[in-house]
């Protein structure tokens, strides 16, 4: 996790300058949220919202624009510094806290109406039981937790296999991290990094669901979607709503999932 934090600290300015994040468009009023979470989370006006693993805060600030009282947390100091800077520049009221998610109890004592997390977050966590406990500890009675995320099955796909869909990574976890030393970062593979090495942990859908149940949450829904939030495979194209679909409609593959859960 220390290696991952160094990696994320280094890629923050690269991500902020990328077309993928379109930070300039956001500053001009564009929302970074996709239709899935907007529909499923619903009205947030006047509600307190805790965003776990918020990166440099564009989604956090997009919820604030919709009226939520937001707090974003991330373990990258560079990401939190940039998030605070964007909030100040845009005049959006938001709080950002630098914290490892497992240490959040020492940094934050409050409970929230909504605990939220999204898109590419769980693979960076070795222990989902402790993750779910933090969600439970920071959720108000009557509030809800919401996640929209890469489907674990989609995470097994070999992204470089253009002519066919190959499963090249494990679905089930052994508890050991997978080490990656890819060049650059997902917004720019040509970027020169000092901290190329990163570590990820696969988590099957059953582990994700059971971690929430064991923490005392009740699942309101579990949804799976045949589209993703980025171009995972060369045979995918982007639609007007920002989601990515396989060009061949006969390919029916879960690319994302969402869960809403309550105490």
pLDDT tens for the 263 residues of the chain, in order: 999 999 999 999 999 999 999 999 999 999 999 999 999 999 999 999 999 999 999 999 999 999 999 999 999 999 999 999 999 999 999 999 999 999 999 989 999 999 999 999 999 999 999 999 999 999 999 999 999 999 999 999 987 777 788 888 999 999 999 999 988 898 988 898 999 999 999 999 999 999 999 999 999 999 999 999 999 898 999 999 999 999 998 888 899 999 999 99
Residue 255's pLDDT is what? 94
Tell me, yes or no, whether 33 lies in a domain. Answer: no
Asked if the structure places residue 258 within a domain, the reply is yes
Q: How far is CA 25 from the centre of its chain?
A: 20
Q: 21 lies in a domain?
A: no
CB 112 within 8 A of CB 138: yes
Long-range contacts, stretch 79-82, CB < 8 angstroms, 24+ apart? 79/8, 79/9, 79/12, 79/54, 79/55, 80/56, 82/12, 82/13, 82/16, 82/56, 82/57
**To which residue do tokens 């059953």 refer?**
206
- CATH code, 47: 3.40.50.150
Domain assignment present for residue 26? The answer is no
Q: Does 89 reside within a domain?
A: yes
In whole angstroms, give the CA distance from residue 72 to residue 101.
11
What's the confidence (pLDDT) of residue 133? Answer: 98
Q: State the residue for tokens 């690319």.
A: 255
Task: Identify the domain containing residue 73 by its residue range.
Answer: 2-15+39-262
Q: For residue 47, is it within any domain?
A: yes
Q: Using CA atoms, how far apart are residues 19 and 80, in angstroms rounded to an integer?
A: 20
pLDDT at residue 159 in the model: 79
Number of domains within the chain: 1
pTM of this structure: 0.96
- For 93, other C-beta atoms within 10 Å of its C-beta total 10
Is 81 inside any structural domain?
Answer: yes
- Does residue 211 lie in a domain region? yes
């Amino acid at each position: 996790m220390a290696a991952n934090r160094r990696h994320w600290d280094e890629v923050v300015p690269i991500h902020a300058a990328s077309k993928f994040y379109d930070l300039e468009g956001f500053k001009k009023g564009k929302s970074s949220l996709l239709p899935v979470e907007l529909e499923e989370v619903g009205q947030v006006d006047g509600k307190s919202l805790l965003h776990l693993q918020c990166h440099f805060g564009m989604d956090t600030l997009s919820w604030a624009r919709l009226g939520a009282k937001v707090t974003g947390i991330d373990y990258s100091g560079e990401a939190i510094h940039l998030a605070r800077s964007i909030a100040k520049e845009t005049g959006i009221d938001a709080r950002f806290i630098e914290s490892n998610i497992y240490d959040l109890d020492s940094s934050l004592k409050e409970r929230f109406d909504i605990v939220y997390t999204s898109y590419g977050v769980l693979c960076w966590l070795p222990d989902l039981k402790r993750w779910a406990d933090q969600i439970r500890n920071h959720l108000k009675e009557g509030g809800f937790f919401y996640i929209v995320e890469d489907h674990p099955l989609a995470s097994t796909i070999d992204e470089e296999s253009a002519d066919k869909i190959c499963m090249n990574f494990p679905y089930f976890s052994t508890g050991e991290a997978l080490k990656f030393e890819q060049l650059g970062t997902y917004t720019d593979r040509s970027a020169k990094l000092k901290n190329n090495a990163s570590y990820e942990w696969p988590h099957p859908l059953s582990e994700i669901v059971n971690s929430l149940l064991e923490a005392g949450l009740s699942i309101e829904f579990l949804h799976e979607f045949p589209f993703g939030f980025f171009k995972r495979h060369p045979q995918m194209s982007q639609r007007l709503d920002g989601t990515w679909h396989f060009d061949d409609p006969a390919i029916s593959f879960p690319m994302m999932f969402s869960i809403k859960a309550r105490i």
